[in-house]
Amino acid sequence: MPVAELRVGTAFDAHRLVAGRPLVLGGITIPFDLGLEGHSDADIVCHSLCDALLGAASLDDIGTHFPSEDESLRGIASVELLARVGGLVRDAGWRLVNCDAFVIMQRPRLAPYRTQMRERVAVALLTDTDRVSIRATSTDGLGFTGRGEGAACQAVALIEREPVGR
């Protein structure tokens, strides 16, 4: 019996926290006095998931597909970029098995928003919510995330290609 081909992609993204911008994570705007600086909405969850998916499918990286020099992308919702990446991965013959994003920031606490983030990411990727995990941790005051200077996210994605003739 043929076995599905599996691939794993990993990614990391980090952005500076600044005043005057909304905090968007996993496609959800989270009430907070600071937001992430970037060309788009700087959603580190969506950015890292994009790169994990693109890496798993050997489709380059987010900067190749959506360069920061492209003014048409200024301020774009990163969850829209994630939806586009999901389409690229599907068009290349792959299906998401699951993905996991791990946010690193001191505050705010993200537990109250994780379900909404998972649901929004699942919609963007045209998959079931149980295939998406989003977790968070602080660094107990250590490093740039602990000092509240920025936030980071690590992500992993597992994709599969169904064998022909299955």
* Helical residues (DSSP H) of the chain, grouped into ranges: 44-56, 62-65, 78-91, 114-124, 143-146
**Is 86:53 a contact under the CB 8 Å cutoff?**
yes
Quickly state the pLDDT bin for 69 (edges 50, 70, 90).
very high
The overall average pLDDT reported for the chain is 95
Amino acid code (one letter) for 24: V
Whole-model pTM?
A: 0.95
**Is 137:101 a contact under the CB 8 Å cutoff?**
no
What integer pLDDT is reported at residue 134 of this predicted model? 98
What integer pLDDT is reported at residue 3 of this predicted model? 72
Tens-place pLDDT, residues 35-66: 999 999 999 999 999 999 999 999 999 999 99
Place of tokens 């992993």: 156
Residue-range domains of the chain with CATH: 5-161 (3.30.1330.50)
What the block records as the tokens of 43 is 């959603």
Tens-place pLDDT, residues 1-15: 677 899 999 999 999
Tens-place pLDDT, residues 95-110: 999 999 999 999 999 9
Beta-carbon contacts of residue 127 (< 8 Å; ≥ 6 apart): 96
Establish whether the linkage from the previous residue to 108 is cis, with ω within 30° of 0: yes
Place of tokens 């098995």: 97
> Which residues are registered as beta bridge partners of 132?
99
